[in-house]
């Protein structure tokens, strides 16, 4: 595990929350755990093909994504290798998309925890149908 993650108190708090709460019992929407330092969004989203998905990065938050209803595939790439930004960083939403194609993927089963630090571009929601999932936003310290 990355030392920066282990030293982040909000990351430790997020993992503790995941291990002690039934994420499936949470209603869809935003749930504050430690104000804007740590919160979780419970969402139901339509999934996409790898060609439809877009790599994204964040500056202020670490993403912890937990598929709940079914497996989910994520495109992944080192942020430093992404060369085709699709616009500018949306500072308010803390997101920048890239046009770079997804060339590498990982798949997580329901309940598996996947962490994306700011150094990793990720393209979530690759699969078929819809998915119920948890997206934790952990403030970078």
| CA gap 24, 28 in Å, rounded | 9
Under DSSP, the state recorded for 48 is: B
- Residue 53: the pLDDT is 95
Retrieve residue 68's tokens: 């709940």
Q: Which residues contact 25 (CB under 8 A, 6 or more apart)?
A: none
Q: Does the structure show a pLDDT above 60 at 24?
A: yes
pLDDT tens, residue by residue, 72-122: 999 999 999 999 999 999 999 999 999 999 999 999 999 999 999 999 999
Q: Average of pLDDT values for 4-19? A: 93
Mean pLDDT over the full length of the chain: 96
Burial class of residue 29 (count of CB atoms within 10 Å of its CB; 0-12, 13-18, 19+): exposed
């Amino acid at each position: 595990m990355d030392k920066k993650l282990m030293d982040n108190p909000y990351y430790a708090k997020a993992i503790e929350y995941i291990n002690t709460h039934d994420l499936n019992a949470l209603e869809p929407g935003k749930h504050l755990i430690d104000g804007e330092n740590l919160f979780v969004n419970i969402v139901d989203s339509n999934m996409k093909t790898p060609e439809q998905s877009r790599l994204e990065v964040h500056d202020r938050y670490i993403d912890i994504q937990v598929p709940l209803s079914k497996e989910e595939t994520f495109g992944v790439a080192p942020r430093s290798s992404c060369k085709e930004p699709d616009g500018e960083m949306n500072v308010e939403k803390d997101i920048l998309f890239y046009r770079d194609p997804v060339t590498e993927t990982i798949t997580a089963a329901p309940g598996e925890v996947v962490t994306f630090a700011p150094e990793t571009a990720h393209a979530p929601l690759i699969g078929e149908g819809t998915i119920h999932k948890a997206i934790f936003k952990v403030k970078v310290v």
